[in-house]
Each structure stands twice: as C-alpha cells, then as structure tokens.
Amino acid sequence: MGLEVSFADLHDTTTFFSGNFDVSSVFVTVCCALSIYNGLELLLLVFTTFRRFQGLYFWSLVIASFGLLPYTVGLLIMYFTFTNSGEFCLHAVAQCNQPPAFSD
C-alpha cells in the first residue's frame, strides 16, 4: 500500500519532463539551483550591506531578490509537474515583481 511511482509510469503524462534525466532536464535543474543560490546570496548581501532598511533602492533589491525564489520554485514545479494545482499561481505572482524591481 505504499506510494510507488517510477519515472517510467510518468512517460507521456507531463508537459516538459519525459521521465528521463536527459541534458535538458539537468540543464533546467542546474540553472534553477543557480537562481535559488543567487537569490539567497543577494538577500544576504542586501541585508548585510545596507545600514538603514529604507529607501526605494533597498526595497526594490529586496523584492527582486526574494521574487527569484518563488519564481524558480514555481518553474521547477511546472517543469517536473510535481503537482497539478497552484504552480502557475506561484510562478505568475512571483513574475510580477521582477520587471519593476530589476529596472532600477
């Protein structure tokens, strides 16, 4: 009665991920890992560099850096189709804060 699902059972059921770890799936995983690392590093640098947590530049960097995390997690969920609900909402909401924040 255990939950046993192999990658072969998921063949032709997903949009992007075919169930095999080929070059494109590894590339997406590596790029998403770099994006999460960069988002966390930017948040750490912003909070350790700024002396006062105020101003447009500070908040735009915080919003843009924090926006990378849900955007990347939503992208991974959509790519590997871990769930059927909520991933697009997470991805779309996080995408809204990036263009205004990165245009500074």
pLDDT at 75: 81
pLDDT tens, position by position, for the chain (104 residues)? Answer: 444 555 555 555 545 666 777 788 888 889 999 999 998 999 999 999 999 888 888 888 888 888 888 888 888 887 777 666 655 677 677 777 666 555 54
pLDDT at 86: 59
**Within 13 A of 52's CA, how many CA atoms are on the CB side?**
4
Distances in Å between the Cα of 99 and the Cα atoms of 20, 57, 102 are: 33, 14, 5
Contact 95, 87 (CB under 8 A): no
pLDDT at 31: 92
pTM: 0.69
The closest alpha carbon to 39, from 81, 92, 98, 90, belongs to 98
pLDDT at 12: 52
Q: What is the chain's alpha carbon radius of gyration, rounded to the nearest angstrom?
A: 17
